[in-house]
Structure 1
């Protein structure tokens, strides 16, 4: 059937089969079956390492390109500048909301310790505590890496992100087209890393099946409950951000509730079906112009810019995944670590826009986990069940895109109306 051709569906089926076979081997296979499963599981570790090796170069390359793109966009005019300011403010709101919401939800609905222990063992991830967090002075000093290469080698992701942001802005200031040459190099590096990741993801069903064997062998089918809890928590984070977008359009953009619902309903239906903001762009432009009365010159600037550099739900859902991992390991990141993680989440949400869904998950969530001092061994398992949260990601993204467009249209039209009344 057609839906079986989807990589996400294939990966989900592979995870379910791996867990089932691993659980059966533990229950009925005895020592020989366990040794066979452990041998196959090693292939899953190889697949995971193949993903890991691309994270630092990919995040650096896409961040440099993404920051340069935002800088160029902000230089195109007042409307674009104001749009970028709104994007950054809403991304920060998304991140802070997620930290508070997800920690609150998991405090009221804690992850089962028994299931967490089994899942940790199944993923073969270390159960070590978070490394000792630096004090505020040391943390501030660490933001600018004295040796970016060393920082990258040690997975000190926050200094790498800071360095990439500076490089991205600096490239746009180079004279005589020199910046374009460098930007082409980073674009090519990012594209090369994406090609590698796509190669790795071609065998994702096999890699996830191998990892799932270990989960089933050590955790049994009880791990399904933990994964179901993750789906609910991550989807809730995306849904809350979508609701915030609704409230902003109505309260700040002053769009009547009925009119807003009528304008967005076809777009939300398309978002649910396609899980792609880019695929929804024509509908967003049409509905904003025809139903919300947004001038064409505003819709044609803000919405393509939003699709290019703005993912409203990205910080929220990515942080939700990382916070869930922290709770699975029973770890408590410090306020400074959360500050760094929020900063990384904002940066990668810009840099990862336009990447394929599976690539985007890895390149967005892994750096945040590293910033929080968490292992990333569970991420391929979470990737396998990302289908449902991804729907809510897209719903929130298109809602945010149209909300910012409505707000900017109101702000642009009010001065025009005031000038017309004075005339």
Structure 2
């Protein structure tokens, strides 16, 4: 059973629960559903089979959606609280957080600009229409004016905002709430943090149950897709999706080399040789945590101070995923193109804002769960249907390879840049 990026066990001190997802079985469910649907397309039993599989797929999709808001709230409170604590750790931590913030912002902005251009140059295959699934043919997204957009950043009624899945004001509220916790007396803040940690764990248990039966839900959804468009078109679309989204992750990988060179003062060839062992471990494990010993060895090869690397790299693994906002934005933009949603600059800005904040809360999750929890709110903030995510999650293990390699490389680059700043 594969372990995806950032999956890790937590100790008994109230950390996140450890969940293992049957990703290979989920992929098998996707492939099996597409194959069976292709065989049934145009036959007399097509409608009878869809009458059974369509409700199963819809029910599984709804089960996947129902945990998004409470889990996002809990993870944001936990993640931002951890970030605030890290910022208080001293000058080294603040320099490190500065480089991290720069990488996250540039990654999300680059994706918002370049992903639409990439899809214009290499358009989504015409046979992709069936991946729209249910809900893709709903009412067109209204583009708000500037004043309306600014006013929408604050929700006067959080319950109503949650009912309407208005993710941007909800995200802003939970981010402010997490920062406010740091200003409370220690005892009060600890009580609330324990509450949100328990809430997050409960939601993780539920979503773990939902994802455990993902092979069945994905099979049912994929069967309907193949009946409508044929398996070949769906397979071609998924391959196109994997390559274009991974290309946005490659931008972060390239940026890591440039950061080590321009800010860290390390030659490109030397940095590439030093980080190669860590990248190899990342490729084989798809886990930044498992790559940490190799990253520390890369830092030794680069002759970074031990007090820098031993502090920066473990902290980076805990709170930093460089590819998160950029690649998550790329997925949301891909689904927008897939479903015909026009993305205005305002909607892209909303997506970037949510992507940056959400990336803080999803670091410690398995890749399959973070895919749903991270991209769902971004898509909702941009007015993009989230139904296609239920199928795309089945192939996330492949873009996740690029995520892990780029994350590991950027972690070492941030340590290199931070160490050089200390020398000055």
TM-score (norm: length of structure 2): 0.93
Q: Hey, what's the Cα distance between the residues in 2 that align with 1:79 and 1:365?
A: 31
Pair 269,6 (structure 1): closer, same or farther in 2 beyond 3 Å: farther
Secondary structure at the residue paired with 2:80? helix
Task: Report the counterpart of residue 49 of structure 1 in structure 2.
Answer: 62
Task: Report the counterpart of residue 238 of structure 2 in structure 1.
Answer: 227
Q: Hey, what's the Cα distance between the residues in 2 that align with 1:233 and 1:165?
A: 31
Pair 247,284 (structure 1): closer, same or farther in 2 beyond 3 Å: same
Q: Hey, what's the Cα distance between the residues in 1 that align with 2:405 and 2:303?
A: 22
Which moves more between the two structures, 292-301 or 48-57? 292-301
Deviation at 1:2, TM superposition (A): 9.0
Give CA deviations for 1:38-89 in whole Å, capped at 9, x if unaligned: 3122111111100100000010110011111100110111111121122112
Task: Report the counterpart of residue 8 of structure 2 in structure 1.
Answer: none
Structure 2 unaligned blocks of 5 or more: 4-19
Q: Please say if 1:125 is aligned against 2:135.
A: yes
Pair 329,313 (structure 1): closer, same or farther in 2 beyond 3 Å: same
Task: Report the counterpart of residue 13 of structure 2 in structure 1.
Answer: none
Deviation at 1:8, TM superposition (A): 1.9
Deviation at 1:257, TM superposition (A): 2.2
Q: Hey, what's the Cα distance between the residues in 2 that align with 1:303 and 1:177?
A: 30
Task: Report the counterpart of residue 20 of structure 1 in structure 2.
Answer: 35
Q: Please say if 1:77 is aligned against 2:90.
A: yes
Q: Hey, what's the Cα distance between the residues in 2 that align with 1:329 and 1:335?
A: 18
Deviation at 1:124, TM superposition (A): 2.2
Q: Please say if 1:186 is aligned against 2:196.
A: yes
Q: Please say if 1:379 is aligned against 2:389.
A: yes
Task: Report the counterpart of residue 178 of structure 2 in structure 1.
Answer: 168
Which moves more between the two structures, 245-254 or 264-273? 245-254
Task: Report the counterpart of residue 403 of structure 1 in structure 2.
Answer: 413
TM-score (norm: length of structure 1): 0.93
**CA RMSD after TM alignment:** 1.6
Contact 1:25–1:34 (Cα < 8 Å) also in 2: no
Number of equivalences = 407
Q: Please say if 1:306 is aligned against 2:321.
A: no
Task: Report the counterpart of residue 116 of structure 1 in structure 2.
Answer: 128
Find the partner of 2:328 among 288, 304, 318: 318
Q: Hey, what's the Cα distance between the residues in 2 that align with 1:381 and 1:40?
A: 14
Q: Hey, what's the Cα distance between the residues in 2 that align with 1:142 and 1:77?
A: 36
Larger Rg: 1
Secondary structure at the residue paired with 1:279? coil
Deviation at 1:11, TM superposition (A): 1.1
Task: Report the counterpart of residue 359 of structure 1 in structure 2.
Answer: 369
Give CA deviations for 1:213-236 in whole Å, capped at 9, x if unaligned: 111111111111111110110111
Q: Please say if 1:97 is aligned against 2:107.
A: no
Find the partner of 1:334 among 339, 344, 354: 344
Give CA deviations for 1:97-137 in whole Å, capped at 9, x if unaligned: 1112211110111113x4132322xx223323542122111
Q: Hey, what's the Cα distance between the residues in 2 that align with 1:354 and 1:339?
A: 25
Which moves more between the two structures, 158-167 or 249-258? 249-258
Structure 1 unaligned blocks of 5 or more: 415-423
Q: Hey, what's the Cα distance between the residues in 2 that align with 1:83 and 1:136?
A: 34
Deviation at 1:6, TM superposition (A): 7.3
Contact 1:130–1:333 (Cα < 8 Å) also in 2: no
Find the partner of 1:202 among 201, 212, 223: 212
Deviation at 1:34, TM superposition (A): 2.2
Give CA deviations for 1:133-185 in whole Å, capped at 9, x if unaligned: 22111211211211111111110000000000010000111014110100000
Pair 45,251 (structure 1): closer, same or farther in 2 beyond 3 Å: same
Pair 394,377 (structure 1): closer, same or farther in 2 beyond 3 Å: same
Q: Hey, what's the Cα distance between the residues in 2 that align with 1:304 and 1:48?
A: 35
Deviation at 1:306, TM superposition (A): 0.9
